[in-house]
Amino acid sequence: MPQASVAGAVLAAKEGIPVILVGDAEVLKPELAKHQFELPIHHSSDVITMDDHAGDVRKRKGSSIMQAMQLVKDSQAAAAVSMGHSGATMAAALLVLGRIKGVDRPAILATIPSRAGFVALLDVGANADCRAAYLQQFAVMGTVYARAFFGKMQPTVGLMSIGEEEHKGNELTKEAHELLNKTPNINFFGNVEGRDLLKGSSDVMVTDGFTGNVILKLAEGEAKELFGWIRAALVGGSWLTKIGAALVKPALRSVAAKLDPSEYGAQPLLGVKGYAFIGHGSSDAKAVLSALRTARRSVEAQLLEKIAAGMAELPKAMVTG
């Protein structure tokens, strides 16, 4: 349903972010009317639903996600933000925008809050099966992202494995470790483990999309459940506990905000020749607003151009693994 997307788009427009709504005009116009606000609409009556297959975009060029990507390719929009089918969004981006030179597989990056600030984790779902060269490319793209968004001039790159020693891991991680050690213009930290993610042992952590997606969903689910446990313990306790709860509530609220996925809105798809962002299908207006803010910030930081420059610096022999 478009309610949250329209509400978030209106909030963004009121902040000065220009937004084009892509979808069925007959559905979007009544939603806009509720906010007594006008936004340009690019009509598309065809929508890829969550029940559709990602590959359907190839034969449905008139679908809203394909139209959104086409607007980016035609320079009518700076970025495409989708709060719908993630697989369809990736497929549409690849079909319409194509890949940056030197990128074999685009990656989805998730920003994870940690003790040290934030960690850029990639890939979190675009590539279930990977080669070592893909992880190398993820490291380069993640490094560029961390410089632009975290303000780290020399961000460290960690390789997710089952042990810190370089001989630990499966064949993929062992081969990737050797390759990352030789990669120019990245600050390779070495192997990291799952427990290092929230510690912030490195600024960028690379892994295959299968592992990354499991880590992301686990982190999001654990944060939600943890705060549920804390809330239940504080509310259901004695009068003394309830007084304590009132005192710690402001501090807990700030922590909850840091762990709230809606604070970040959408995850960038790095490696395609255009700005594309993927959000949760269940996002609220706040998450949509955050996603549009992230898209604008990425464009202003010239993230695309910087990733292309970073990939161009890799020796050709190292990007064809």
Residue listed under structure tokens 């420059």 = 309
For residue 319, pLDDT over 50 is answered with no
pLDDT class for 70, splitting at 50, 70, 90? very high
> Stretch 162-170: mean pLDDT, rounded?
84
Write the DSSP assignment of 2-18 as a string of letters: -HHHHHHHHHHHHTT--
Record: fold of 3-103+264-300 = Isopropylmalate Dehydrogenase (3.40.718)
Domain with CATH 3.40.718.10 in the chain: 3-103+264-300, 107-263+307-318
Residue 203 half-sphere exposure, CB side, CA atoms within 13 Å?
Answer: 21
Q: Is 161 left (phi over 0), alpha (psi -120 to 50) or beta?
A: beta
Q: What is the pLDDT of residues 242-256, one digit of tens each?
A: 566 565 666 556 555
- β strands within 4-95, DSSP E: 21-23, 41-43, 79-82
pLDDT the model gives residue 241: 63
**Segment among 82-86, 145-149, 180-184, 236-240 with least mean pLDDT:** 236-240
Q: Which two tokens stand for residue 254?
A: 């700030």
- Mean pLDDT (the chain, rounded): 85
User: In CATH, what class is 107-263+307-318?
Assistant: alpha beta
List all residues 6 or more positions away from 20 whose beta carbon is below 8 Å from its beta carbon: 39, 40, 41, 42, 71, 76, 77
Where is 268: in which H helix or E strand? strand 266-270
pLDDT class for 54, splitting at 50, 70, 90? confident
pLDDT class for 2, splitting at 50, 70, 90? confident
Where is 153: in which H helix or E strand? none
By the 8 A CB rule, do 275 and 78 touch?
yes
Contacts 24+ apart (CB under 8 A), 241-245: none
For 88, counting Cβ atoms within 10 Å of its Cβ (0-12 exposed, 13-18 middle, 19+ buried), the class is buried
The letter for the amino acid at 15 is E
pLDDT class for 216, splitting at 50, 70, 90? confident
pLDDT class for 116, splitting at 50, 70, 90? confident
Percent of the chain surpassing pLDDT 90:
50
Q: What is the pLDDT of residues 18-31, one digit of tens each?
A: 999 999 999 999 98
Q: Which two tokens stand for residue 87?
A: 């697989």
The letter for the amino acid at 76 is Q
> Stretch 177-194: mean pLDDT, rounded?
91
Where is 278: in which H helix or E strand? strand 275-279
pLDDT class for 227, splitting at 50, 70, 90? low
By the 8 A CB rule, do 120 and 146 touch?
yes
Distance linking the first and last C-alpha atoms of the chain: 42
pLDDT the model gives residue 321: 42
User: Residue 160: which of 244, 234, 103, 219 has the closest Cα?
Assistant: 219
Q: Which two tokens stand for residue 40?
A: 């340009």
Q: What is the pLDDT of residues 261-307, one digit of tens each?
A: 666 678 999 999 999 999 876 678 888 999 999 999 999 999 999 99
